[in-house]
Amino acid sequence: MTTIPHRELRNQSSKILERVKNGETIDVTNNGEITATLIPPSASPFERLLLAGQVRPAITGPVDFRSLPRVASKTSTGEILDDLRGDR
């Protein structure tokens, strides 16, 4: 990742934006502190998280709920629903 000062972005914005358009990510600093990150437009937030391994795509298609393990509970379904509904 490249880091450039704000002044360079101001003076050479077309060249820098072309680099970003071509896939480069650039940090912009102001007084030595990173204040912005320029990223290519094709990378959506979800795509970036997916590429970083921080999320995974949802499983598509029907779910067979019968294959899920049953869970025993001391609380009845009615009591659970009453608790969820609260004071409605």
Positive or negative: CA dihedral 70, 75, 78, 83: negative
Whole-structure pTM over 0.85, yes or no? no
The string of pLDDT tens digits covering residues 20-58 is 999 899 999 999 999 999 988 766 888 888 888 999 988
Domain membership of residue 11 as a residue range: 1-56
Within a domain: residue 85? no
Q: What is the CATH classification number for the domain harbouring 2? A: 3.40.1620.10
Within a domain: residue 23? yes
Percentage of the chain modeled with pLDDT above 70: 95
- CB count within 10 Å of CB 29 equals 16
Determine the Cα–Cα distance for residues 39 and 24; give it in Å rounded to an integer. Answer: 7
